[in-house]
Amino acid sequence: MNNKYPNLQDQVRGNEQQVNQDDEFENIDYVEDDENDNIQDRNNQQYGQNMRNSKYNQDVQDLPAIDINALNNYFKPDPFLDGLVVDIVDYSSKTDWGIVEHVLYQIKSYKKGKESDFIIVQRRYSDFEWLVKEFEQKYIGIILPPLPEKNVLSKINFQKVDLIKRPEFLQDRLICLKAFLKKVLDHPKLSKTKEFKSFIRDSDNDFQKFKEKSFTQRQSANEPIGSGMIKKFYNSVSTGLTTAVDYISGTRQKKERQKTKEDEKFENYERYYQNQKEKISETTRCLHHIFEFKKKQAENMTQFSAILDQLKTQKGVSELKDTTYKASEQQAKNSNDLILSIEGPLKEQIKHFDSCLGILNHRKELLLKIFENQVKIEQLLRQAGKQDEIDNLRDEVENDERRLATLQYLFQEDNDYFKNMIQQQIKEILQSFSGKSIEHSQHMARIWQNSN
């Protein structure tokens, strides 16, 4: 790993001395203000209590209880981020026992106009996953950009068996990881978190120490494998759950939760984003058919060129064969270009909508859990139940209400940014499709014109 950052690193240290905030750090000895220390301590204590008392979905219990009034302390401005550019400039792989490869991505950070003064760190895909989990656990309600899917088979080094196209996979993943970092860097809140700043600028040793101190790392022993908050909620939560059952004197009575104006507001969010997702999904399907048609057209031209090759003794056929072959190569290249630059980014936008819809379903699950616990408290009070059980349920309700308030606050804060960002990116993708289509048509026209 190469490091060349005396000036940039000096600025990092200068920022720490100047700002002295909870998210400023040096040599992994992070200094947090007393308020945030107390908040984090309460979060950790409450997390342990919740895990012991939990009878519900674990992902709900894992939500941190952060006081809304202190949220801004997690997103304080940092001069280090002013004009910062973050990019993945290269990657390399390491093989263990000659079978499994670990890909290391070289992440370069520098200020605009000062490319010679930079920081380079190496991160694995699992480090990207860690960053997303930290965001999910600590900053619920913020709509997170998606990571590319993890391909387990891609880690196997098939030297003689061509079961996967590893170079193409790694290149596609590289493009998606670059897009992920850019979205986090551009985000008005995520970019300011100490998790992201540690990710892009800490040395390997310091970064590992930071991860060991992290919330998700400390709780990993209690977390099921693959229990990502957004994915799990989006796949498992029923959107129609609004009732709970109250058992009174052995009689089952149904009790319904009344909708509020806040519910109507979030239902409007859900309808809007579900509609947008469906439109983009349909657009992606249509474009996919166009790209597949272009690929098939390239294959047909290749076959036609092979037929012409058999007839090349006839006058003029040889030139037509060469031109057809060139056109087939260009058409195949055009199709791959469109799939990589248009279809791939559109699919990423769909995943981003899934992240958004997952948060909205997450909110429903919290509401349902709060309501069910309130019903249980009423039941226990009528039956003169144990006071310690009632107190535990009240604590759960209080904590979940605080979590719910945090989620709603951060989501509404993030909503306008997310909506504008998505609209702008989709506009750029479709404009790129239009421009590339014209460019590709001109390439094809030149090939055929040159044959005359």
DSSP 339-393: IIIIIHHHHHHHHHHHHHHHHHHHHHHHHHHHHHHHHHHHHHHHTT--HHHHHHH
Whether residue 73 contacts residue 36, with contact meaning beta carbons closer than 8 Å, is answered with: yes
Fold annotation for 237-450: Substrate Binding Domain Of Dnak; Chain:A; Domain 2 (1.20.1270)
- For 101, the 3-state DSSP assignment is strand
| pLDDT given for residue 319 in this prediction | 81
What's the pTM? Answer: 0.70
| pLDDT given for residue 145 in this prediction | 93
Q: How many Cβ atoms are within 10 Å of 265's Cβ, its own excluded?
A: 11
- For 247, the 3-state DSSP assignment is strand
CATH class of 6-232: alpha beta
**pLDDT tens-digit profile, the chain (452 residues):** 444 444 555 555 444 444 334 443 333 232 333 444 444 444 444 433 333 333 333 344 444 455 666 777 888 889 999 999 999 999 888 776 666 578 899 999 999 988 888 999 999 999 999 999 999 888 889 999 999 877 644 444 444 334 445 677 788 888 889 999 999 999 999 999 999 999 999 999 999 999 988 865 555 444 432 334 333 333 333 333 333 434 333 444 556 778 888 899 999 999 999 999 999 999 999 988 988 888 888 888 888 888 888 776 666 677 888 888 888 888 888 888 888 788 888 988 999 999 999 999 999 999 999 999 999 999 999 888 788 999 999 999 988 888 888 899 999 999 999 999 999 999 999 899 899 889 988 888 888 887 66
- Measured in whole angstroms, the distance separating CA 4 from the mean position of its chain's CA atoms is 29
Whether residue 35 contacts residue 98, with contact meaning beta carbons closer than 8 Å, is answered with: no
| pLDDT given for residue 111 in this prediction | 93
Exposed e or buried b per residue across 163-184, where buried means at least 16 C-beta atoms within 10 angstroms of its C-beta: eeebeeebebbbbbbbbbbebb
| pLDDT given for residue 2 in this prediction | 46
Give the DSSP H/E element, type plus range, for residue 107: strand 100-111
Q: Where in the chain do CATH 3.30.1520.10 domains reside?
A: 6-232
How far is residue 294's CA from residue 144's CA, in Å, rounded to a whole number?
34
Residue type, 70: A
Residue 28 main-chain phi, psi, to 5 deg:
60, 5
Q: Where in the chain do CATH 1.20.1270.60 domains reside?
A: 237-450
Whether residue 432 contacts residue 287, with contact meaning beta carbons closer than 8 Å, is answered with: no
How far is residue 137's CA from residue 228's CA, in Å, rounded to a whole number?
9
Query: Could you tell me which of 276, 289, 292 has the C-alpha nearest to residue 357?
Result: 276
